[in-house]
Copies of this chain bind each other. A is one copy, B any other.
Amino acid sequence: MRIFGPTAIILGLASLLSEPGSAWAQDATAIQKSVGDLRVALDTVWVLVAGFLVFWMHAGFAMLEAGLCRAKNTIAILYKNFGVVAVSSIAFWIIGFALMFGDGNTLFGTKGLFVMGTDNSPAMGDAYKGVFDALNWTGIPLMAKFFFQLVFAATAATIVSGCVAERIHFSSFMIFSFVLVAIIYPIQGHWIWGGGWLAKLGFLDFAGSTVVHSVGGWAGLAGIIVLGPRMGKYEAAGRVTPIPGHNMPLVTLGGFILWLGWFGFNPGSTMGTSDPSLIAHIAVTTNLAAAAGVISSSLTSRFMFGKADLSMSVNGALAGLVAITAPCAFVTPAVSILIGAFAGFIVCLSVTFFDNRKIDDPVGALSVHLVCGIFGTLALGLFAVPALTPGGSAGLFYGGGYAFLIKQAIGVVAVGAFTFTLSLILWKVVKAIIGMRVDPEDENTGLDLAEHGMEAYPR
């Protein structure tokens, strides 16, 4: 099945001893083609392997969220996390990818439904001829571009599942997820990664603190507001009733899976290997931010609650990871520690903040993905090293003044307003048509028996 390889080379060498001029030119052409083919192959392998790691994050979300819910809602949350990958895959294939990366206007793409249309990938730059110009900076086959972006899209939807856990109908969540991945996520993604207006403005988000994480958070916040808190959470006068998760090994496993998956998420967002130093740099900043997030959240939880809290530390790792996602390529390792540490700190405060406002977020997804997604995007506005950013954008502390920071803030606000508003409308439509919240007795029984007729741990 393979045509080129060592054999071809050996055979090719036979013809080398002819006249120098033209043979040399032919030979150089052939060699350069081989080298170019190899580059495409290597870039494709890297992007796909990184995409596999991002896919794996869905297992991490499933385990983390299942562990942080009660046993009686375990199947329900597992099923949402498993099913959302499926629904997202189909939605992004049909239309999401086209809206996000298809040629169109500065607001959304208008070409490329079903990932079809003219395309001569892996040709790059001006040599690229096709309907997905926004991705012409990466020299990989179209299907590799689609696969990598698909696993990102599904991540945004998965984040929502944690916010609405333990009280939402299975089908309501699935329908929302389909539309989120088909329409809402790709439109704002087009603004930033698809050559839209925020990209033109100079807004930067390397791997998706805003595009993926805060968007998942905004959509989830809208869901929480429409759904209301779980029964019993805020009913005791003047205080919050903790509802502990049921399985800490699952939570920890989920944390490890997500940390691992982020090595695909951030370094893989290079979508190529032309700058291996950058890939390694991102792996290091990503890891240091996660590490700092663990340490600061452990210390903060010990100070705030008297005991080092494992679930807070797992969320601290994720907080650091979410926060470093936008800046990972553009800041120094030392700054990545700062960003991760601060994220680990604010995630603890944020949990209390939301609880005080009776915004019931069972797994802390808002604190992790929304709050730290915003923080990370703005932190890039503070710490961007001009030598590392495209166009030389500089953070406030790196000589850039407020100019770049303001662009980052505009992006945060615009994406937030768009996503939250559309999500709120969508949730209300779903609620009106098929309902959204399970009956109180079903919520009391648990969604596993009520919605799925099974228990997660039958005798």
Q: Are A260 and B56 in contact (CB under 8 A)?
A: yes
The number of times this chain is found in the oligomer is 3
The answer to whether B62 touches A252, judged by C-beta atoms less than 8 angstroms apart, is yes
Choose one: B2, B89, B244, B309; the contact of A291 (CB below 8 Å).
B89
Cβ of A223 within 8 Å of any chain B Cβ, yes or no, is no
A42 x B42 contact (CB < 8 A)? yes
Question: What is the minimal beta-carbon distance from A320 to any residue of chain B, in angstroms?
Answer: 9
A146 — which chain B residues lie within 8 A by C-beta? 280, 284
**Is B29 a contact of A16 with CB atoms below 8 Å?**
yes
- Cβ–Cβ contact A39 & B39, under 8 A: no
CA distance A74 to B36 in the complex (A): 51
B249 contacts A39, CB within 8 Å? no
Do A139 and B281 touch across chains, with their CB atoms under 8 A apart? no
Nearest CB on B from A205, distance (A) = 13
Cα A246 to Cα B81 in complex, Å, equals 20
Question: Does A355 lie at the interface of the complex (its beta carbon under 8 Å from any beta carbon of B)?
Answer: no
Cβ 8 A contact of A62, one of B49, B55, B253, B313: B253
Interface check A420, CB cutoff 8 A: no
A247 contacts B457, C-beta separation under 8 Å = yes
| B276 and A122 within 8 A (CB) | yes
Residues of B within 8 A of A281 (CB): 141, 143
A204 CA / B259 CA spacing, docked (Å)? 33
A7-B126, A79-B308 known; A2 vs B248 contact (CB < 8 Å): no
10 smallest beta-carbon distances between A and B, as pairs = A59-B256, A86-B294, A44-B276, A143-B280, A89-B291, A144-B280, A86-B291, A41-B273, A5-B139, A307-B453
Q: List 29 A-B contacts (CB under 8 A).
A: A1-B275, A2-B139, A5-B122, A5-B272, A9-B35, A20-B20, A37-B274, A43-B276, A44-B276, A45-B49, A48-B279, A48-B280, A49-B49, A56-B260, A63-B249, A63-B253, A74-B248, A79-B310, A82-B313, A83-B295, A85-B291, A90-B291, A93-B288, A122-B276, A141-B281, A143-B281, A143-B283, A244-B454, A310-B452
